[in-house]
Amino acid sequence: MPRFAACLASLWPGLSLTEAAGRAADAGFDAVEVTDPYSAPIPELAEELRLRGLAVSAIACPPPNYTGGQRGFAAVPGLEVRFKGDLRRALRYVKALGAQNLILMAGEAEGEAARQTLLANLAHAREQPTGTRLLIRPVSPRRHPGAMLGDLGLAEEVVRQVGPEKLGLVFDAWHIHEMTGDVAGTWARLHPLVGHVQVAGYPGGHEPAGGEIDYPAFFAQMDESGYKGWVTGNYRPGGTVEAGLGWRAARGG
């Protein structure tokens, strides 16, 4: 079976990061995705993760904006200085928390200028002593109109141009399903480029069980393909988190 991590912001949104990390450990997770670690003092969060024996599967740069504002700046012409400042801050957290992946949020932009801005910013990020793998995350344009990485083909092209040894994809199965209707086929084509996986039930965004995505089959496919990265439960629990964790034991036939 894949290695499962818990997205703290999604599973325990009402708790502090340190409290949520404790709940994740108690629920049997070995790693956590801390999308927005910037709301907690680094020493406090790092110590809680150490005491709980939790790895950090990924953090985001900058934190995704869930209040209707920009969801990143890596592809936005004119905001290169802001991107570099966000990156410096994120790298301090990467080092302190031992984050294994850093998700660079592209934001809303389009056209050749945006593409060149994204490539230039990724080249800058690639040159930094990160100690982590850099990732970009394709998202459904239905949910995020104007998103630079609402084009899956463009995301693949960017990773191949920058170099898969330096840059990878976040394979958010919920978004991939909405974009392509074919999680299995898209995984078969893209899995060598994938550095991190996120899962949620479609269409409701709850536990990755039932719904339109056959997660037991997908988990089996990941195993068969040799994927060794983390699979983060990034969903809104339908009830208590603990009552809905049966999906972690689901196996394809």
* 230-252 residue pLDDT tens: 999 999 999 999 999 999 997 66
Instruction: Report residue 65's pLDDT band, with 50, 70 and 90 as the boundaries.
Output: low
- In the chain the domains, ranked by start, together with CATH numbers, are 3-249 (3.20.20.150)
pLDDT at position 20, please?
Answer: 97
Q: Where are the beta strands (DSSP E) in 41-181?
A: 55-61, 101-104, 133-136, 167-172
Instruction: Output the pTM of the full model.
Output: 0.96
- pLDDT tens-digit readout, 116-138: 999 999 999 999 988 899 999 99
- Residues 143, 178 contacting (CB under 8 angstroms): yes
